[in-house]
Structure 1
Amino acid sequence: MQKYIFALAVSLLCTISLAGPAKQDLNIVQKEIEQWLEAALANSPGVPSYSVNKLDPKLQLDACNLMEIGLPQGYRLIGKTMLRVKCIEGASWSINAPTQISMQVQYVTAARPMGANQTLGEADLMVQRGDLGTLPGSVILEPNQAIGRTLNTAVSAGQPIRKEQLRAAIVIQQNQRVKVVYREDGLEIHNEGIALSNAAEGAVVRVRVGGNLILSGTAQAGGLVEVGP
């Protein structure tokens, strides 16, 4: 009897050994990917939708207690992309999951053909809707991001307006008389001067104050130059 029990125990141990570690349920991996995407896209600028390729059912992965999901280097969370799933507790494996992400957004286009150096007004712009994944990555999404700025290059009607096509409008002209404001620790001193060059809003401009004093400050709308310590 004892020999029988011993043989049975040995047989069970062999069976367990041959069975190996538990395998990962791929449906759980798929669900983890979808939950990660829902969270990552929650604060998107538009209306997102996505599809994740089904994992190969032949894939044999050891059971994982904790997974880490992210974008491999060089991939964006838009268009045809890739997610990487890595087990960081309980096993050691990583897989890639091909994913397609669409994002319906409002974006800004040219209402008519316009030339370089033209300052944009509300009537020059038109709003359309489309998939952000098919648009240039730097496309302007809100008209107020373009109004008052100047085109660097010519654009055709219907062309998406991109950030690199715009520069801040010139607010100070060379030889213009400007108001100079110096601020430091609550102290505010006002003076007048002559701008030595053209300057866009937010750009640094040099101003001559009095006979020989040259100051550098930040150009603001309304012919104002702010000078700090």
Structure 2
Amino acid sequence: MAVSLGALAQGQADTAQDGELGALSARWLNDAVQAAQVNGAAAGLPLRMEVSVGSLDPRLRLAPCSRVEPYLPAGARLWGRTRLGLRCLDGATRWNVFLPVTVKAFGPAFVLTNNVASGTVLTAADAAESEVDWAADQAPVAASPDAWVGLTATRPLAAGQTLRQNMVRAPDAFKAGAQVKVVAQGPGFAVTSSGQAMSAGAVGQNIRVRMANGRVIGGVVAQDGTIEAAL
């Protein structure tokens, strides 16, 4: 979407141009965020979006431009602290600037009701549902009890924190030094043996196992606690 700003005479108050650019950016962002809300609702994410638009660097002196196009820079997304590009498409001097933007996405999630030590297995009593800003951090929220109840805290957590997926992990299936079953698979065959785990392991983790012959192999912890290794 490119919008005409009119030919602003050089020397006209910069605040007038800033106001035009701010209004243009706000309209573009409003349309984009509304579309994101519709898509989010279709995906089952009941998020309430809020957008605040920052200001351009006051040291910038932009040449007059008849047509300015807002765009989302490559790699950026309308989530948390981000930026919106503005480029001049019709002017004596082409320019390209970036406007700071903050996008908040409020929705239901779980907030810790008490401090939790690292390594603690979380229970339903450790957090309560509340409306939080999902976009306050890049890590996805733990939006349902299944995403955190029975899992282990990866670090010390404080009361009031929103539970996010990088804060929890599956509990250890075994401790370091435990004897584990190893299933090594190759083309058309599978061999089962045992070895000693060189570290604690949780479901889905990659760990190393020392076999009876002294060889060390790597594998992934399966749901039943066995180690799946590829040959």
Shared fold by TM > 0.5? yes
CA distance in structure 1 between the partners assigned to 2:213 and 2:74 by the alignment = 59
Q: Does the alignment pair 1:140 with 2:141?
A: yes
Give 1:149 deviation, angstroms: 3.0
Q: Cα offset for 1:154?
A: 3.3
Instruction: Name the aligned partner's letter for residue 90 of structure 2.
Output: G
Does the 8 Å CA contact 1:106/1:141 hold for their aligned counterparts? no
Change (3 A) 1:220 1:53: closer
- 2:31 is paired with a residue whose SS is helix
Equivalent residue of 2:217, what SS? strand
Find 2:31's aligned residue among 9, 28, 35.
35
The answer (yes or no) to whether the contact 2:142–2:148 under 8 Å persists in 1 is no
Q: 2:127 maps to what in 1?
A: 125
Give the TM-score, by structure 1 length.
0.64
Cα distance in 2 for partners of 1:32, 1:80 equals 17
Distance in 2 between the 1:37 and 1:159 partners? 26
For residues 194 and 159 of structure 1, what CA distance do their matches in structure 2 show? 38
Structure 1 residue matching 2:195: 3-state secondary structure: strand
2:66 is the counterpart of 1:63 = yes
The question of 1:221 aligning with 2:205 is answered: no
Secondary structure (helix, strand or coil) at the match of 2:146 reads helix
Q: Deviations over 1:80-118 (max 9, x none)?
A: 66422113x433234555645331122222243332221
Count of residues in correspondence between the two structures: 201
Cα distance in 2 for residues equivalent to 1:54 and 1:176: 58
Quick one: distance in 2 between partners of 1:100 and 1:217? 42
Aligned to 1:83: 84
CA distance in 2, matches of 1:128, 1:137: 19
Moved more, 78-87 or 99-108: 78-87
Structure whose CA Rg is larger: 1
Runs of 5+ unmatched residues, structure 1: 1-21
- The DSSP-based 3-state class of the residue aligned with 1:218 is strand
Q: Does 1:187 align with 2:189?
A: yes
Alpha-carbon distance, 1:76 to partner: 6.7
- CA offset digits 1:167-200 (Å, max 9, x no partner): 4421122343322112233433323333343223
The SS at the match of 1:174 is coil
Contact 1:23–1:60 (CA under 8 A) maintained in structure 2: no
Q: CA RMSD in A?
A: 3.9
Task: Return the alpha-carbon distance in structure 1 between the equivalents of residues 195 and 55 of structure 2.
Answer: 68
Q: Provide the residue aligned with 1:23 in structure 2.
A: 7
Normalising by the residue count of structure 2, what TM-score does the alignment of the two structures yield? 0.64
Alpha-carbon offset, residue 225 of structure 1: 0.3
| Counterpart Cα distance in 1 of 2:116 and 2:28 | 48
How far apart, CA to CA, are the structure 2 residues paired with 1:146 and 1:153? Answer: 14
Q: Is 1:169–2:171 an aligned residue pair?
A: yes
1:151 corresponds to which of 146, 150, 153: 153
Percent same amino acid among aligned pairs? Answer: 22
Q: CA offsets per residue over residues 102-155 of structure 1, 9 Å max, x none?
A: 31122222243332221223443322112345x444363324333343224333
Matched to 1:180, the amino acid is V
| SS of residue in 2 equivalent to 1:144 | helix
Distance 1:204 1:118, change over 3 A: same
SS of the aligned residue for 1:35 comes to helix
CA distance change for structure 1 residues 94 and 39 in 2, over 3 Å: closer, same or farther? farther
Answer whether contact 1:192 1:209 (CA < 8 A) is retained. Answer: yes
